[in-house]
Amino acid sequence: MVVLGLALVGIGTRWLLLKNERDHLREVEREKRVQRDELQPYIQKVQELEAKRDQLRHKINVINSLKQNQRDRCGSWTRSRARCPTWCG
C-alpha cells in the first residue's frame, strides 16, 4: 500500500511538473507570436527589398554581359575598322 501511495505521489508530482512546463511553453509561444506579428511589416519590407535587389542584380548582370559582348566585338584595335560597326567609334 505504501508503494502504491508513493507511486501515486510520484506520478502526481511528475504530472504537475509537466503541466507547469506545458503552460510555460504555451506562454512563450504566445509571446513569440505577438513579437512575430509586431515584426511582420518589417519582415515583408525586407522580403520586398531582397526581391528588388535580385532584380537589380539581374539587370546589372545583363548590362555587364552586353558591355562585354560589345568589347569583344569592337575592343580589339588590331581588327580592321571596316569590319567594326560604326557605333564602335
Per-residue pLDDT of 5-16, as tens digits, reads 889 999 999 999
- Distance (Å, whole) CA 9 – CA 61: 70
Q: How many CA atoms lie within 13 A of 71 on its CB side?
A: 6
Model pTM above 0.75? no
The CA-based dihedral angle spanning residues 36, 38, 39, 42, taken in that order and rounded to the nearest 10 degrees: 150
* Per-residue pLDDT tens digits for 19-47: 999 999 999 999 999 999 999 999 999 99
Instruction: Find the length of the chain.
Output: 89
**Cα angle: 61, vertex 83, 76; to 5 degrees:** 55
